[in-house]
Structure 1
Amino acid sequence: MGDAAKYAEVSQRENKNYSEERTEDNKKPKDDDVICLKPKMTLVNGITVIVGSIIGSGIFVSPKGVLLGTGSVGMSIVVWIVCGIFSLIGAYCYAELGCMITKTGADYAYIMTSFGPFVAFLRLWVECMIVRPCSQAIVALTFSFYVLRPMYPNCEPPDEAIRFLACLCICLLTFVNCWDVKWSTRVQDLFTYGKLFALAIIILTGIVQLGFGQTQHFSFEGTESDITKIALSFYSGLFAYNGWNYLNFVIEELKDPHRNLPKAIFISCILVTVVYTMTIVAFHTTLSAQEVMGEEAVAVTFASRLYGVMAWIIPVFVALSTFGGVNGILFTSSRLFYAGASFGQMPEVLSMIQVKHLTPAPAVMFMALLSLIYLCSSDIYALINYVGFATWLAIGLAVVCLPYLRWKMPNLPRPIKVNLVFPVIYILASVFITIVPMIADPVGTGFGVLIIATGLPVYLIFIYWKKPKPIQNAIDKITLLLQKVLLVVPSERPETL
């Protein structure tokens, strides 16, 4: 607990005194002159970051994952609603944690505070090296597929063309994110509005269909009796909601975080839950459960049935949605690399700021590089499946930090104080959706555990082991060279160690 306690103590002191220290005349440089991550994001920007990160391709392309596990339309709608409520409870717990520990890194920072550097590193290792870059590569590939689809109406687009366009998408957004935070948030705002507009069209169409009495597909007939299969359906639903905690990763760049973080979280989660549920209802006014389970692109099939010559608008909006999804993942994930480097658990250069644009450019570029590497993989989906349980296990562990810190560090500032019933509910539900699929798919879980275990030798060699002076000097020279090439310097805002 030495490092964790030290971090918590410094974090508490900074939360209370940082703004006061920066306003003292003639003592320290004013905030505008300090090279660090600047709070440029408004409440609206925060909402679009969360909504834009949550709504990617999943709701448009493949709601069938929930149906495959539930067996009926009625039960699938129940699962979508429960997943939304589950995400909202988790987000409520994260609101207290985010306002208490206002540091970039979200659950990584919370786990570091509570359980120390080793557990935090395992979380960082899986998320940074596999989950985030794989997810970004998959969303970029989906973007490419839907951009190229109109050019190949009678066959699949060439794989090389899909991967090349995905590469261009990631490179373009890497430039945007390195250039200016405001550019990144404007891209996120624009494409979030676009995807909400597309979903509004689908929902309004569904309401019209309901008005004409198209309710024949809504029933609980055929509901799956195997509880493990229903538990697996929650994985698909929760994957579609993934991203509700992303604003916590960039909290240092949010204006007035104690007020705007909880507002952005609540508004976004409620909005997405309503939109997702209404979209699923709309799909089933036209498509049966069997039709949805047989389609890879449900929204496109829905549009082709009802929109006639205007059916092309849905693939266009899916492409726009996924483009914004790539931006959201890149924007928030780069801050996780930045946080890991700030704690000394990743290369030091990743914690540095570009002197002209005040962006974490090295972290953005490293995240993009990993994503480009995964684009070369033939089966990146398998990696996501193997470590998927680890994501929810880590988020559940972060929620465990809430009651743990209430017990161990009761004096930390808590602008929001959550009733302990909510973290208990979330923790129990996390145990359920983690353990049951492990029983259902022990081989996949075993591979996932092995992947996570690779973090142990990495931690021992690169972090725990005190390096000899010649090796450390060589590392310092490489860091200095990268600083000169990228024009980056360490953040001048006090960071925790």
Structure 2
Amino acid sequence: MDKSTKNDKQQKSNNVNDDAICLKPKMGLMNGINVIIGCMIGSGIFISPKGVLSGTGSVNMAIIVWLSSGIFSLIGSYCYAELGTMITKTGADYTYIMECFGPFIAFLRLWIECMIVRPCNTAIIALAFSFYTLRPFYPDCDPPGFAIRLLAIVCICLLTFVNCWDVKWSTRVQDFFTYGKLLALCTIIITGIVQLFKGNVEYFTFKQDPLVENVDISTIALSFYSGLFAYNGWNYLNFVIEELKDPHKNLPLAIFISCSLVTIVYTMTIIAFHSTLSVADVLSAEAVAVTFAERLYGWMAWIVPVFVAMSTFGGVNGILFTSSRLFFAGAEQKQMPEILAMIQVNHLTPTPAVIGMCLLSLIYLASKDIYALINYVGFATWLAIGLGVACLPYLRWKRPDLHRPIRVNLIWPTIYILASIFITIVPMIADPKGTLTGALIILTGVPVYVIFIAWKNKPRFLQAIFDNSTLFLQKLLVVVPSEKQAKL
């Protein structure tokens, strides 16, 4: 085939794809970087570094945990760069696990992530947004609970509309609020550097604070949960890879730049906090960043709640954007309702999947046990990501023929898998009751899998109900199945 014929065929392919109703690659490198940073930097670094400090007992050890958590996330993201450029399908580790370990294990990952982890996180971050948006209006007391939940509902519904209307709108929102949260952290870091130059270094020690008792290997392992929770989101760009331009080039670049930047910013932010705040100050603070601002910014302390509100608003947008694609990927694999794999014909967005994520998040807003649910299934998140990384050596063994634009040295997935086993098993030993509760929650997916997925020959009347419901929603939302394989 000569060059001109090849180019004509490629141009024809591109034209067909341009006309197809499917998820379009609209995100460039900067959008990809902002998606990862926007998802990683939420409320955690502003509000609760005390989770790490309560398990380590000293400032220097806490800094090591924060830095190690960042390096750990960077190693995982490096492994995901090979997987993402090799399997360019929406869904990230769900898709990788499906390819390697089959539909049942993949469904359990999908079940716990879609039904609990993602909507719970969305609800929690929306509540944080509401609290810090209203905080300046209630300087002497906490805002009313009803007002907090009402504003959280408005936040989720508004961002759901944005994500349903246009992918470019949602990426612009993500870009703007990502720059806002980086500005907030840079302000804190610069303030901390000034404090260090003034000689405020007395809190930087490995000496265990008397307020923290019984520090051992298990409490340090548990402290990694808090650190890693703050870094959570480094793998989210893999969930939307079909919407990333030139993913073979932009995915690894976006991952490396964003994860490296967040690791540096987080570590410097913790150092900045402790240039002014002692262990006791941090452990007693409701929101560490607010306490830091009240000590140093005087009447300008109100800017920190505003920064936190901006950060959490962008965090909600990022989770809605990426999580809806996980619903979409599950529906494409016939492990979620068919309607969730459909595209809005005018806006080319996965509207049903976005709305599904929204509705689940609103349901969890009414719950008083959101944080307990996250704690119960937290080990499953890191276990699943570790299993996703394990797909890399597995595919090297089983599918050496796959095209690999990036080829990671196997020492890195080995380190990540061993570390994942450690941070998963040690907390299980430290909290067996919570682990058992989490395992039981995960196992609720087994009967769902058996009834709705494994059972193929359903009664005709039951199948008719499913089909009619899908058709009704399809007409209501004006959506059609994605045309992923356009024929020439």
Kindly state the Cα deviation for residue 469 of structure 1 after the two structures are TM-superposed.
2.2
Q: Counterparts of 1:316 and 1:28 in 2: how far apart (Å)?
A: 44
Tell me the residue number matched to 1:488: 479
Tell me the residue number matched to 2:324: 334
Tell whether the 8 Å contact from 2:344 to 2:351 is kept in structure 1 after alignment: yes
1:23 equivalenced with 2:13 (yes/no): no
Tell me the residue number matched to 2:468: 477
Tell me the residue number matched to 2:146: 160
Change (3 A) 1:338 1:215: same
1:294 equivalenced with 2:284 (yes/no): yes
Tell me the residue number matched to 2:3: none
Which letter maps to 1:117? P
Tell me the residue number matched to 2:108: 122
For residues 414-453 of structure 1, the aligned pairs below 5 Å read 414-453=404-443
String of CA shifts for 1:21-67, please: whole Å, max 9, x gaps. 97364x89622211000000000000000000000000000000000
Tell me the residue number matched to 1:139: 125
Q: Counterparts of 2:332 and 2:215 in 1: how far apart (Å)?
A: 48
For residues 259-338 of structure 1, the aligned pairs below 5 Å read 259-338=249-328
Which letter maps to 1:164? L
Kindly state the Cα deviation for residue 290 of structure 1 after the two structures are TM-superposed.
1.1
Q: Counterparts of 1:160 and 1:22 in 2: how far apart (Å)?
A: 59
Instruction: Report the 3-state secondary structure (helix = DSSP H, G, I; strand = E; otherwise coil) of the residue aligned with 2:400.
Output: coil
Q: Counterparts of 1:484 and 1:405 in 2: how far apart (Å)?
A: 41
Instruction: Report the 3-state secondary structure (helix = DSSP H, G, I; strand = E; otherwise coil) of the residue aligned with 1:41.
Output: coil
Which letter maps to 1:235? Y
For residues 51-450 of structure 1, the aligned pairs below 5 Å read 51-222=37-208, 225-450=215-440
Q: Counterparts of 2:14 and 2:162 in 1: how far apart (Å)?
A: 32
String of CA shifts for 1:436-486, please: whole Å, max 9, x gaps. 000000000000000000000000000000112222122111111111000
Which letter maps to 2:49? P
Which letter maps to 1:103? K
Change (3 A) 1:393 1:20: farther
Tell whether the 8 Å contact from 2:390 to 2:413 is kept in structure 1 after alignment: yes
Change (3 A) 1:428 1:20: farther
Q: Counterparts of 2:291 and 2:15 in 1: how far apart (Å)?
A: 59
Instruction: Report the 3-state secondary structure (helix = DSSP H, G, I; strand = E; otherwise coil) of the residue aligned with 1:273.
Output: helix
Tell whether the 8 Å contact from 1:287 to 1:302 is kept in structure 2 after alignment: yes
- TM-score, with length taken from structure 2: 0.96
> Cα RMSD (Å) of the superposition?
1.4
Q: Counterparts of 2:461 and 2:75 in 1: how far apart (Å)?
A: 50
Instruction: Report the 3-state secondary structure (helix = DSSP H, G, I; strand = E; otherwise coil) of the residue aligned with 1:169.
Output: helix
Instruction: Report the 3-state secondary structure (helix = DSSP H, G, I; strand = E; otherwise coil) of the residue aligned with 1:286.
Output: coil
Q: Counterparts of 2:286 and 2:413 in 1: how far apart (Å)?
A: 36
Which letter maps to 2:54? L
String of CA shifts for 1:1-27, please: whole Å, max 9, x gaps. xxxxxxxxxxxxxxxxxx9897364x8
Kindly state the Cα deviation for residue 308 of structure 1 after the two structures are TM-superposed.
0.8
Change (3 A) 1:21 1:352: farther
Kindly state the Cα deviation for residue 277 of structure 1 after the two structures are TM-superposed.
0.3
Aligned with 1:45 (options 18, 31, 43): 31
Change (3 A) 1:343 1:217: same
Q: Counterparts of 1:214 and 1:364 in 2: how far apart (Å)?
A: 48
Q: Counterparts of 1:28 and 1:110 in 2: how far apart (Å)?
A: 27
Q: Counterparts of 2:39 and 2:320 in 1: how far apart (Å)?
A: 10
Tell me the residue number matched to 1:4: none
Tell whether the 8 Å contact from 1:21 to 1:28 is kept in structure 2 after alignment: no
String of CA shifts for 1:359-414, please: whole Å, max 9, x gaps. 00000000000000000001110000000000000000000100001101111111
- TM-score, with length taken from structure 1: 0.94
Aligned residues: 476
Aligned with 2:445 (options 441, 449, 455): 455
Tell me the residue number matched to 1:15: none
Instruction: Report the 3-state secondary structure (helix = DSSP H, G, I; strand = E; otherwise coil) of the residue aligned with 1:30.
Output: helix
Q: Counterparts of 1:231 and 1:69 in 2: how far apart (Å)?
A: 8
Tell me the residue number matched to 1:9: none
Instruction: Report the 3-state secondary structure (helix = DSSP H, G, I; strand = E; otherwise coil) of the residue aligned with 2:343.
Output: strand
Which letter maps to 1:83? S
Tell whether the 8 Å contact from 2:55 to 2:215 is kept in structure 1 after alignment: no
Which letter maps to 1:419? N
Q: Counterparts of 2:311 and 2:20 in 1: how far apart (Å)?
A: 35
* Amino-acid identity (%): 73
Instruction: Report the 3-state secondary structure (helix = DSSP H, G, I; strand = E; otherwise coil) of the residue aligned with 2:318.
Output: helix
Stretches of structure 2 that go unaligned for 5 or more consecutive residues are: 1-5
Q: Counterparts of 1:67 and 1:22 in 2: how far apart (Å)?
A: 59
Q: Counterparts of 2:472 and 2:243 in 1: how far apart (Å)?
A: 28
Q: Counterparts of 1:358 and 1:323 in 2: how far apart (Å)?
A: 24
Tell whether the 8 Å contact from 2:166 to 2:347 is kept in structure 1 after alignment: yes
